[in-house]
Amino acid sequence: MEKLVSSWFNVRPLPEAYVFPPEQRPGKLFFPQGKSIPVLDLGGQNRKETIQLIMKASKEFGFFQVTNHGVSKDLIDDTLALAKEFHAMPAEDKICECSKDPDRSCKLYTSSGKYATEEKHYWRDCLIHPSHSFEKYMQFWPAKPVRYREVIGKYSIEVRKLSSKILELLSEGLKLSSGYFSSDLSESPILLINHYPPCPDPSLTLGLARHRDPGVVSIVLQGDVHGLQVFKDEEWIGVEPIPHAFVVNIGYVLQIISNGKLKGAEHRVVTNSTDARTTVSFFVYPSNDSLIEPEKALVNACDPPIYRALKFKDFHVDFLSKSADAEAVQKFISSRSIY
Ligand SMILES: O=C(O)CCC(=O)C(=O)O
Ligand SMILES: [Fe+2]
């Protein structure tokens, strides 16, 4: 395997393979206070009001944070601690812990996962595995650190409940039936444990390139280190770390189902020179054979489908081949596509 950045991050200067062309570099790393993505209190009593706020945030930003979400602070702290402990292990141990499944359901990679073919590498290592079902996949999760399966198992259950709560609010806001998303549309969630070590020159490189997420929604635990940014009105907005809050964003699948009423926002990760940043992303994914298309109840003669029907696996394979290129993905999913 190519070398994990966490194994050599203190090498100086930043190697050429990580230096992005000037137009893709992060530019300003710090942003004036003021512009920020919405923060929603999910513990509020008024469900109607919560739905209005979540719909407004999903339409205008495609990104928001949630507090009072029902996942305990202790579990969040334990999860982040385990995530950091995993990436702090020696490379041989990490590789060994992620090599148990011949079908590679659990993988450790560096950069984007396309190391051999990408032009530049990202300053990031990533552990990725299915979050459910436990019966099928937990046996392939890392068994070291020793509490990994116990803590990440509990976290997977709680964050999945939170995703269902959020999807219930969104389906009500879209006037879809209750339980709309608790179907094959949310059957195959995955977890990514991202790690961005301190970087010798954060102004020249990226932790993750500008992208939209592929799934229904993503729920990200970003800890207390800055780095995530959202592109809004032609500028990058930093997502302020709020202790124990989750960052939620709309993925392509929900954009397609809602026929563009809700839109995924482009985001990226910048690095810093002093603090390692470890984050946990939970992606709500449909099963591979789910048909993803604009929901019939949301289209009509005046509002025709702007996306075509695709099996999730076909969309996903294509997405992975062109994830950073929003225009290419848009072309592929468009109802006017000539594929
Ligand atoms: O690490 C982060 O803050 C965000 C990660 C992300 O965008 C992703 O996993 O798709
Ligand atoms: Fe993302």
Tell me the pLDDT of the chain (339 aa) as tens digits: 678 999 998 888 999 999 999 999 998 666 555 689 999 999 977 999 999 999 999 999 999 999 999 999 999 999 999 999 999 999 999 999 999 999 999 999 999 888 888 899 999 999 999 999 999 999 999 999 999 999 999 999 999 999 999 999 999 999 999 999 999 999 999 999 999 999 999 999 999 999 999 999 999 999 999 999 999 999 999 999 999 999 999 999 999 999 999 999 999 999 999 999 999 999 999 999 999 999 999 999 999 999 999 999 999 988 888 766 888 888 889 987 655
If you measure from the C-alpha of residue 62 to the centroid of ligand 2, how many angstroms do you get, rounded to a whole number? Answer: 12
If you measure from the C-alpha of residue 265 to the centroid of ligand 2, how many angstroms do you get, rounded to a whole number? Answer: 9
The residue whose C-alpha atom lies closest to atom 8 belonging to ligand 1 is 281
Q: Can you tell me the distance from the alpha carbon of 217 to that of 174, in angstroms, rounded to the nearest whole number?
A: 15
The residue whose C-alpha atom lies closest to atom 5 belonging to ligand 1 is 281
The residue whose C-alpha atom lies closest to atom 1 belonging to ligand 1 is 279
Query: 191 forms bridges with which residues in the sheet?
Result: 129, 282
Containing 84, the helix (H) or strand (E) segment is helix 73-88
Residue 37: its pLDDT value, please? 94
Give the closest ligand to the alpha carbon of residue 212: 2
**Which amino acid, one-letter code, is at 72?**
S
Residue 323: its pLDDT value, please? 65
Nearest to 77 by CA among 275, 283, 244, 276: 244
Token code pair at residue 9: 């991050």
The residue whose C-alpha atom lies closest to atom 10 belonging to ligand 1 is 213
Characterize the bridge pairing of strands 228-232 and 267-269.
antiparallel
Nearest to 208 by CA among 224, 190, 230, 237: 230
Residue from 281, 283, 285, 323 whose mutation best tests the ligand 1 pocket (most atoms within 8 A of CB): 281
Ion ligand 2: residue ranges with CB closer than 5 A: 213
User: How many other CB atoms are there within 10 angstroms of residue 117's CB atom?
Assistant: 7
3-state secondary structure of 66: strand
The residue whose C-alpha atom lies closest to atom 3 belonging to ligand 1 is 228
Ligand 1 pocket residue status of 267, Cβ below 6 Å: yes
Ligand 1 pocket residue status of 6, Cβ below 6 Å: no
